[in-house]
Structure 1
Amino acid sequence: MTAANLFSPMSIRSVEIRNRVWVPPMCQYSSFNRDGMPTNWHLVHLGSMAVGGAGLIIVEATAVSADGRITVHDSGIWNDEQRDAWAPIVEFIHDQGSVAGIQLAHAGRKSSVRPDWNYAGAAGPMPVSEGGWVPIAPSSIPFDGESSTPREMTRGDIDRIIVDFTTATQRAVQAGFRVLEIHAAHGYLIHEFLSPLSNRRTDEYGGSLENRARLLLRIVDVVRAEAGEELAVFVRFSATDWVEGGWTPHEASTVARWCADRGVDLFDISTGGNVTGVSTGGNVTGVAIPAVPSYQVTFSEQVKRTAQVSTAAVGLIFDAEVANGIITSGEADAVLLGREHMRDPHFTLRAAGELGIEIDYWPEQYLRARRRTPAVGLAAGEVAF
């Protein structure tokens, strides 16, 4: 069998993805009317990367409820109007040969904050008087002073979250999404339940790993049921909190195996986001994250090997050769490039040329701009331009 490379197609259930160059969820904070509706910005932002050849495009963290948003400008899929607004964006992505996925999310204690860049006021929590709300979380522990103190969730709240993920999945399927990703990373609600640093509960949702994973596993069950047997279901994990006493790669691998046994097809492996500092004996120690190129790939490889599951790697991956090496080495089954796709929405087309790989999905409208090399048909003496 020939080893996979960056441009090998990938089949997940009935979903055919043309390559292993994927676009991760990237929050745009561009639902400017505070109604959770995707806009023309989303169409052009996502559509340009589909034109540019990406195999899978996962739209930004999309709230399953209004109070599950990070900011008032987040997109959502908690009502039918939002579903109907997503549908033409999904259709355009699919018309270009890419696959459209959606990340279903609840921000938990990191919700109701001001956006970084499109709000005139100061950063920090958005008060109720300005349209914010009181966040909810597994325990009443704020996110390192950067958000409001959340209300500890009741069992009724937990049951409501399950309903919200159920109805959001139904709408996502109706909108045409082919990949459904559950956001269990970056310190948002599900990650808050998984990590002992943010979950101090004493009921069946706290304490042991089995208990801390209970919410995620319930969500996996309903998303898998609503997705049916044809569509792909992913989970995004932060594989570590980067601090002693927090969520660990071993725990991530264990829970990944439990999720796979319940029908999850692939794990999108990131890290961090749950704490920025840890208090020990009255001293606060900052979380040191070695954010160098490809710094999270090792966690993808560890979860893949330990849990015997498919994974995707993410985190400061910029270069076509490096991305290809991650696939050919078996460290991950796909790579997700966020910043590089924002810099160059046509990264995939460029990468194929750089790697000397022939692809047949250059948009016809752009063929005159295609750079050719000897590996992709440049005749002797012909100039590549």
Structure 2
Amino acid sequence: MLPIVPLLAAALLQTAPEGCRKCEHRGVVDCSKHSAEERQWEQEVPRCSVAARCAPCGGSLLVDCPKCEGGPLSAEMEQRRQAAAAWLAQEDPLETHLQRPLARAETLHFRLVVDVVALKDGKKKVDGHAFLHWVARDLERAAALQDGHYGAVAADRRSPSRMWLWQRREDHAAVMEKFLFSTSSGDFKMLGRDPVFSVWTADPQFEDAAPRLHSLAIHNGAHLLLSNLFRELWVGDLGAGWLDEGAGHWYEDKVIGRSTNYCVDETGIPSGGIPDMARSSIRTRLERSKDAVLPGLLRRQSGELSADEHAYAFSFYDWVSSEHRGALAPLLRGYHSRRSSSELLPEALGFNVFQLEEAWRAWVTKSYPATEPKPRRYERAPAPDFR
């Protein structure tokens, strides 16, 4: 007589649902509430509250096939639903404080809120949920680049960075006062421990413009990531303004295709006006002026940089990350220990400051174009994967 357990297992295998032609023998079909593009977005992030609140699919992006009794993906669909429901059931401090649900997402490095109905791209409108995913995608691209430059792994940051975009001024003000302990109405960030950036998207600086806000998010995301790498300590006020601002400009430029942002204290724009970050312009300025740049630049704090120095910080970071990538992590760790640039740079790069100036200038002349190529237009489609 055969054992009972194998007989039961065989019976279950014989009766297990196999799906049908309609569902391609999966037992499930794609949820009709999500387009193919939206399903791709959701697969790029571990969690999204918009998807998790979808009544038909519960964040799984799948529903039961109406033509059969299930199939091999039915159990996976249920597991996805349960995981999304469990995540959504966790208390979110922002939702609790504002007493309403928010459009939020989690990625490997970020916790995002994009509380926006729609933004503007010229005469076109950009859906807030779509924008949430575009920002999530590109923040992770910037994070992957930065991690590669510094040899960073997950354990090298103690907490994820937080990025909040608010369309209503009163919501930005409410979270600023509650969580950032500030009454400032402008965009604002806290760096180092539990880094966070918050912005009112309709601020006159941004006017709900999707391209401007997209760049802003990536630029500041780079600052948040760097301030929480290896130690919870911002180096921008430790004489490493070139590293802090250079990184913000560099990752924004690499991911977005341009750098249009700059960070200063609340006294106003940098001395000399808005920085011209075009590589051809940087090359021209360096070729026209023989005055040494690095002796002054390399000792300044972030808030002390002039407009030209923002551009030179970007370019110097460009050179270091291209030609001396292995020096970035030792430099950051050295600034964490409050060592000066005059001590660190010769040790990490093998040149004194005047030799550095000569090598950097020669590389700019060799590597930067004499005239700037046509700027890349704002693209809503996925950009190339720079990792």
TM-score range (shorter-chain normalised) is: under 0.3
Larger strand fraction of residues: 1
TM-score, normalised via structure 2 length: 0.25
What TM-score, normalized by structure 1, do the two folds share? 0.25
Which structure's CA Rg is the greater one?
A: 2
Greater share of residues in helix: 2
